[in-house]
Structure 1
Amino acid sequence: MQAASRSQVMLNAMIKMKRGRKTMQAKCTQATTPKAAINSCRLKKHRHNLKEKVSLSD
């Protein structure tokens, strides 16, 4: 039971990440200058990674 629920959680995380990536790309392309787009993407990605690390260690 534990293993099954764990793999399900991993699947959900993968789906969320894929969705997040799509929305992230959309947001980045909307930015006016390419440099600003890259910077905003980096910031968002970094924050997202930090959140994920915290949730994984729980």
Structure 2
Amino acid sequence: MQNAVTTAAAKSMLNSSPQEAIQLMNEVVKENNLTNSLKDLKQMIDEIKSPQNNKQA
């Protein structure tokens, strides 16, 4: 139910003010802990996969 209400509100906002809708989406994504956690995890994986970190002594 919450997703349906959110979707309806987002569509309404997008139709009336696309720029504000995009700004709001960007703020929500930026403040989303899951998004930040996934970004941090990807960065850590990329660092582990980096050839500089895989050199053997």
Settle same-fold status: TM greater than 0.5. Answer: no
Query: How does the TM-score come out when normalised to structure 1?
Result: 0.38
- Say which structure, 1 or 2, has more relative contact order (CA 8 Å, 6+ apart): 1
Structure number with greater Rg is 2
Structure 2-normalised TM-score?
A: 0.38
